[in-house]
Amino acid sequence: MNNQRQLLESHLRRDFLRRGLTGIGTLALSSLLAAEDRTEAPDPLVPRKPHFAPKAKNVIFLFQEGAPSQMDLFDPKPGLQKWHGQSLPPEMTRDLKLAFIKPTAKVLASPRKFAKYGQCGMELSDMIPEMAKHADDICLVRSMHSEAFNHHPGQLLLFSGSMIGGRPSMGSWVTYGLGSETRNLPAFVALQSGPGTSAGSDLWSNGFLPSLYQGTVLRTGGDPILYLGNPDGITRESQRARLDALRDLNQERQDDTGDTEIASRIHSYELAYRMQMAGPEAVDFSKESPATIEAYGINNKDSKAYGTNLLMARRLVERGVRFVLCMHSGWDMHSGINAAMPKLCAQTDKSSAALLTDLKQRGLLDETLVVWGGEFGRTPMSEIRRPDEADNAGRDHHPNGYSIWLSGGGIETGQVIGETDELGLTITKDKIDVHDLQATILHLLGLEHTQLTYRHFGRNFRLTDVSGQAVKQLLS
Amino acid sequence: MSPLLILLLAALAADTPTLPPAATSEVDFARDVAPVLKRNCQGCHGAAMQQSGFRLDDGPAALKGGYGGAAILPGKSADSPMILRAAGAKGVPVMPPAGRRLTAAEVGILRAWIDQGARFPAAMVSKANRQKTKHWAFEPIATPALPAVKNTAWVRSPIDAFVLAKLESKRIAPSIEADRRTLLRRLNWDLIGLPPTPAEVSEFEADTRPDAYQRQVDRLLAAPQFGEKWARGWLDQARYADSDGYEKDWVRPYAFRWRDWAINAINQDLPFNRFTIEQIAGDLLPNSTVEQRVATGFARHTLTNREGGIDDAQFRFEGTLDRANTVSTVFLGLSMGCAQCHDHKYDPISQRDYYSLFAFFDNAEEVDIDAPRAGELGPWLRGRAEYQAKRDALLAEYKVAELQAAWEKDILYTIAHPGERTDWDLAWDCVNKLTEGGDGGKIVRIPAAERTPRERDIVTDHFVKNYHFAVGNKRYKELKLDVATKTLAKLKTDYPQLTQAMTLAENPKPQPSFLRVRGDYKTNGIEVQPATPAVLPGLQKSGKLTRLDLADWLVAEENPLTARVAANRVWQELFGSGLVKTTDDFGTRADLPEHPELLTWLADNFRRLGWSRKQLIRGIVLSSTYRQASHARPDLQDIDPDNQLLARQVRLRLTAEQIRDGALAASGLLAKTIGGPSIRPPIPAGVMEMSYGSRGWGDGWKVSEGEDRYRRGLYIQFLRTSPYPQLMTFDAPKATAAQCKRDRSNTPLQALNLLNDPVFVEAAQSLAVSIVSQPAKERLDWAYRRALGRIPSAKESARMMAYFTEQQRLLSDDTKAQTALAPFVPPSATRLETATWTGLASVILNLEEFITRE
């Protein structure tokens, strides 16, 4: 059949029929729950076999929204000192894509001190002392390339493979490809710290995929999942009574109409009921040791929000959540970068490092891919929005030669991939495009990016659009 | 050429990335060149296919070139794009893109041939063209003959004849007619998107007149809610939203004006051909009315990016693509998007076709206009002079005129001298991105004296609000322009203002339109003229075609697609699935429909009915086919699992909006006001704040007050980067591109939404209050009738009453829970009773039957 959606539908239909034939509809709830491990699931989220043996089962994507500055964190550029405060010759800036500044903007050398860390001797900035201790646990890429040089298009490109909206996000593709390991929690979870992101819900959108592949936002205030909590006046016990009545009455309707979709609706309500238990448990840190809470920076007001999300990410992965997207915004430093950079690093450095330590200790790092990165990087030249204010300089968007790091399942760590020229204007070695990164992430999960497709508007779409290649150098 | 020479050439070229040299001997086309072209090129650039509009089987055509322009420059092989590609030199993509590459010797031959004049044999003129596909949907819409059937008693309409003939040929009996209650509920959901009241059900059940059903159909077709229900599907296709879509995601406070137009047009049964023409080109109609210009707002639901520093050309290009794609998908049922980058692989749509369609929209501009709603004009006129005087006084008080004049001078200087002052570069960028109500970048270049009053106000408002980008916040506040901004805004709310409309207008200075090589907006290919796709019957008109010509062509007699596509979509609304299942793809790769003649008959009939949407719908819902029961047919489960043969109706989960509307209707909360600005129902804190755009929404998500809170789902403000959660949970579209069909998913998050969302809890509480206002013995029956239009079976009653007892027991000692579930208690009941019934009401509102159209 050439239509994926039809395939999905017919798969479901067969499934319902089978269940109908085994008479599951007449089973009492208790036995339904007890029998579930034996009965085939009714939903299309059942774990599916990847295309080949995977290196990683889960992904935690630490999305640094706004585009962190690579030359202040990961990619030392002593060469900028010589040019500091001067414009570069036109032939050097000819091919730059700039958002706000003009090619004549003056160079801004980084005041950050770089040193070598780990056995591998990775050069990193003094802004990230905690992550620096993990130099041997990460693979640093200094040669990332994006076609986009504005936030929303850049974020769309990174997460959906296209600068134009409407396509499924990476987490949705992964869930579509692999299904879910858990029935009690959503397979794809999004966590937010800092102010809202440019792309907003596009980052966890199912696009044109069926909406069950949509990411679910887990919140730190109020209900962890929207509408998870019972309304006032409904207790756990009365919720059960309500659902029991609902199940029996729906069952009546199924007997009358013969519509197997009703069985699926009944099942959804039971899943919801279990989610009501599993959701609060997943976000409940009371059983975490004080040391863990401290390590993630949750006791510190600067790092509390991001740290909380990262600890949550570990707990979710432990509980079978496939793809956790942690978004932290605030990196868009067009001005005042010297003041803003320490602030953002204080919000994030410790927690990112703690996550790696924690995953490693628990043996989860082998099966969990961790990716840290933004939608692009920043210019070696300064952006001056207020010439009349002191130390106001910031950096503009720079999509050619920015840095990200990867760790965990299947990544060859303790290495640096790619190089930029001495000023960080262009990539001089091992350019890795956003689509290559996507292909690599899918590859680590056992998915061949050209085969993970969905038919829509008369053609097959994929996360990597029409390009991309898994980067062998990244793989262990 | 001698073998020795070939070897020599190959050796020379082996390790050099530069162009292989031209062969040095005289080349003969037939002997040397033709085999090279045949082996390497003509598979894609020949008789069967002309990728990128380039063909090498036809001399004159080859010399003319492809979409990127000339590929062969006689005498200049080193500069000829064909050679650069064949050699993969100078960073251009190599041809062929896959498989065996040309050898250096072969390139050398081609070079020599080009250098020697690139002469083709005179006879080499190809008559073959890209194969015309014979495809049922491209055939003219004729009037098909009605098939003969045995069971003539079942046939109420030609529709039934088509359906029954096929069923009889397969020895399948149609289903029985649904019972009256089900029929009326079905009609209600399908025609007005709301459930019937118990009284309406009783009345219909008791009506013994032979035309009782027809009367219900006509009543519902005439109801003003008909326009709301059918507009919603149209909004999906128009990718309607109340915000820009990118980053800042500004609210579009007047997007609703077009929505109102659509509801109104559908209620008045504006014929679909007029409906089409006005939305595509209402502005170009002779003496176009405001309403006709409002209609062009159809094209204005494209996404807008106001991010600083974006390339305006890119997003203008994307917006124009989106307009072409939308028209193609919505009216022609053709997904032409592939042809943005290359000739369509499967459908007979070339890249040139695509950009010719694109060209119709390439000269359009976005223009906002005054579009007063009924009753606005008088008060506006009366308040105008006073408002203007106060505004002028305010502007004078803050010395805006002098400051603005100087600012404009600096802005114009900055335009001419980019990069000198970064703060002013930013200020200029903001003029382009942040001007409200018009194109700031364009207006600021018009000399002040030549601006219209509207343009003057637009620039001044922008200046007052955004001067800080130029001079910094300190100076801005010294000038108190922050205060002036607020005062001016306040003044606007103090006096009546006119509703605006987002429309399309034609640029009076037409610009040439270009094909874009590989779909890249920066790479112009050949110039294209507006034209309709070559595979379809063309427009009989000379001269440069306009959007109005396109609109006329869409609904012209010869157009085989528009009527079919529109009728198919109506069918989809009434049967859950189109006769062509891929409602957005009528191309050659779409599944062949089970009933192509029926669709052709519907399309033909649609046009004969004067393109009346209401009459088309009426004809379908009166058919026996439509009236069948929706019960599953175990006998057909294997033969026809998708119900393509139509031996029954189908049960369909309601849409997101219908589920909300149904709960509000059953609980008596629904407000029936039609039209007007969008509304905001309550949502938990923190949901909207997850997008950057929310920072600009000023008041966050301020919940609507009064009855606005209880209006229908289609009025919920749709902010693209933070859509209202219930809409997303129940498969409403994301409004990024035309959507022709909705999913009907079934997820645990939906269960949580219906069980626990305050909107639905409130509905249950309200329903409970109505229930306990009934005599005790009648309460359950009443509740069922109210929500489901029927009384419960004995078994259902017993189960409900068991739950009642259980719920009452759980609540009896819990006064806090009682108060929470029954904040209001009518005199006829106790709090415990009311709270208990809230539980029952919630169960009823969660029943699968309640959220299903049967």
Confidence tier at A43 by pLDDT (50, 70, 90): low
Q: Is A197 helix (H, G, I), strand (E, B) or coil?
A: strand
Q: Nearest 5 degrees, angle CA A68-CA A70-CA A73?
A: 90
Q: Which residues of A touch B731 (CB under 8 A)?
A: 211
pLDDT at residue B10 tops 90: no
List the structure tokens of A132. 């620096």
Predicted confidence at residue A420, as pLDDT, reads 97
The mean pLDDT value of chain B amounts to 92
- Give mean pLDDT, residues B677-699: 84
List the structure tokens of A152. 């929303």
Report the number of distinct structural domains present in chain A: 1
Q: Which of A23-37, A78-92, B313-327, B354-368 has the lowest mean pLDDT?
A: A23-37
Name the pairing type of β-strands A216-217 and A323-329. unpaired
For residues B587 and A121, the model is more confident at A121
Predicted confidence at residue B128, as pLDDT, reads 53
- Give mean pLDDT, residues B232-257: 96
- Interface with chain B: mutation pick from A87, A167, A184, A227, highest number of B CBs within 10 Å: A227
Asked if A225 lies within 8 A of B749 by C-beta distance, the reply is yes
A·B CB contacts under 8 A? 294
- What domain range includes position A375? 41-220+283-474
List the structure tokens of A194. 């800092």
pLDDT at residue B768 tops 60: yes
Confidence tier at A1 by pLDDT (50, 70, 90): very low
Q: Nearest 5 degrees, angle CA B359-CA B361-CA B363?
A: 85
Nearest-by-CA chain B residue for A257: B631
pLDDT at residue A23 tops 50: no
Within a domain: A252: no
- Whether the CA torsion A422, A427, A430, A432 is positive or negative: it is positive
Among B492, B441, B491, B490, residue whose Cα is nearest residue B462: B441
pLDDT tens digits for range B395-439: 999 999 999 999 999 999 999 998 888 889 999 999 999 999 889
- Give mean pLDDT, residues B163-181: 97
- Give mean pLDDT, residues A282-300: 96
pLDDT tens digits for range B477-486: 999 999 999 9
8 Å CB contact between A444 and A413: no
Per-domain residue ranges of chain B: 3-115, 271-372+506-554, 381-497, 653-747, 756-853
pLDDT tens digits for range B569-600: 999 999 999 999 988 889 887 878 999 999 99
- Interface with chain A: mutation pick from B328, B586, B650, B848, highest number of A CBs within 10 Å: B848
Confidence tier at B341 by pLDDT (50, 70, 90): confident
pLDDT at residue A395 tops 90: yes
Distance separating alpha carbons of residues A439 and A433, to the nearest angstrom: 10
Within a domain: A194: yes
pLDDT tens digits for range A180-221: 999 899 999 999 998 889 999 999 999 999 888 999 999 877
pLDDT at residue A17 tops 80: no
Among B515, B569, B539, residue whose Cα is nearest residue B350: B515
Predicted confidence at residue A8, as pLDDT, reads 45
Confidence tier at B133 by pLDDT (50, 70, 90): low
Query: DSSP assignment of B91-153, as one string?
Result: TPPPSSSSSPPPPHHHHHHHHHHHHTT-PPPTT------SPPPP-GGGS----PPPPP-S-GG
pLDDT at residue A4 tops 50: no
- What CATH number should be reported for the domain holding residue A348? 3.40.720.10
Q: Which residues of A touch B472 (CB under 8 A)?
A: 386, 388-389
- Give mean pLDDT, residues B829-847: 97
Predicted confidence at residue B124, as pLDDT, reads 79
8 Å CB contact between A420 and A403: no
Helices B547-554, B272-281: inter-axial angle, 10-degree rounding: 160
List the structure tokens of B582. 């891929």
Asked if A241 lies within 8 A of B630 by C-beta distance, the reply is no
Within a domain: A367: yes
Q: Nearest 5 degrees, angle CA B417-CA B421-CA B422?
A: 115
In this complex, which of B247, B642, B848 lies closest to A262 when CB atoms are compared? Answer: B848
Phi/psi at A178 (5° precision): -115, -10
Within a domain: A153: yes
Predicted confidence at residue A248, as pLDDT, reads 96
List the structure tokens of B187. 């009609």
Distance separating alpha carbons of residues B56 and B38, to the nearest angstrom: 9
Asked if B309 lies within 8 A of A387 by C-beta distance, the reply is no
Taking CA atoms, A7 is separated from A50, A167, B730, in Å, by 17, 20, 21
Query: DSSP assignment of B141-154, as one string?
Result: ---PPPPP-S-GGG
pLDDT tens digits for range B732-766: 999 999 999 998 988 899 999 999 999 999 999 99
Distance separating alpha carbons of residues B704 and B676, to the nearest angstrom: 13
- Interface with chain A: mutation pick from B248, B631, B731, B756, highest number of A CBs within 10 Å: B756
Distance separating alpha carbons of residues B386 and B372, to the nearest angstrom: 19
pLDDT at residue B798 tops 90: yes
End-to-end alpha carbon distance in chain A: 37
How near does any CA of chain A get to the CA of B591, in Å?
9
pLDDT at residue B1 tops 70: no
Predicted confidence at residue B47, as pLDDT, reads 77
Nearest-by-CA chain B residue for A220: B686
Q: Nearest 5 degrees, angle CA A446-CA A447-CA A448?
A: 125
Q: Which of A98-112, A234-248, B180-194, B582-596 has the lowest mean pLDDT?
A: B582-596
Question: Each residue of B296-324: b (16+ CB within 10 Å) or e?
Answer: bbbbbbbbbbbbbbbbeebbebbbbbbbb
Residue A231 DSSP class? P
Q: Which residues of A touch B810 (CB under 8 A)?
A: 235, 237-238, 241
Distance separating alpha carbons of residues A350 and A134, to the nearest angstrom: 11
Write out residues 593-612 of B within 8 Å (CB-CB) of A: none
The mean pLDDT value of chain A amounts to 89
Predicted confidence at residue B51, as pLDDT, reads 82
pLDDT tens digits for range B620-651: 999 999 999 999 998 998 889 889 999 999 99
Distance separating alpha carbons of residues B198 and A264, to the nearest angstrom: 29
% of chain B exceeding 90 in pLDDT: 72
pLDDT at residue A22 tops 80: no
Phi/psi at B177 (5° precision): -70, 145
Q: What is the four-CA torsion angle of B48, B51, B53, B59, rounded to 10 degrees?
A: -60
Predicted confidence at residue B698, as pLDDT, reads 65
pLDDT at residue A32 tops 60: no
Confidence tier at A378 by pLDDT (50, 70, 90): very high
Instruction: Tell me the H-state helices in B399-531.
Output: 400-416, 422-434, 440-443, 453-466, 468-478, 481-494
Predicted confidence at residue B132, as pLDDT, reads 57
pLDDT at residue A14 tops 70: no
List the structure tokens of A121. 């001797």
Asked if A264 lies within 8 A of B755 by C-beta distance, the reply is no
Longest Cα–Cα distance in chain A:
82
Asked if B743 lies within 8 A of A219 by C-beta distance, the reply is no
pLDDT at residue A42 tops 90: no
Please indicate if any CB of chain A lies within 8 Å of the CB of B796: yes
pLDDT tens digits for range B433-449: 999 988 999 999 999 99
8 Å CB contact between A48 and A445: no
Q: Which residues of A touch B476 (CB under 8 A)?
A: none
Among B477, B453, B447, residue whose Cα is nearest residue B464: B477
In this complex, which of B310, B690, B838 lies closest to A217 when CB atoms are compared? Answer: B690
List the structure tokens of B519. 């779909």
Q: Which residues of B touch A388 (CB under 8 A)?
A: 472, 474
Please indicate if any CB of chain A lies within 8 Å of the CB of B93: no
Distance separating alpha carbons of residues A430 and A432, to the nearest angstrom: 6
Confidence tier at B130 by pLDDT (50, 70, 90): very low
pLDDT at residue A97 tops 90: no
Within a domain: A272: no
Q: Which residues of B touch A186 (CB under 8 A)?
A: 749
Among A140, A113, A110, A111, residue whose Cα is nearest residue A126: A113
Among A406, A425, A424, residue whose Cα is nearest residue A416: A406
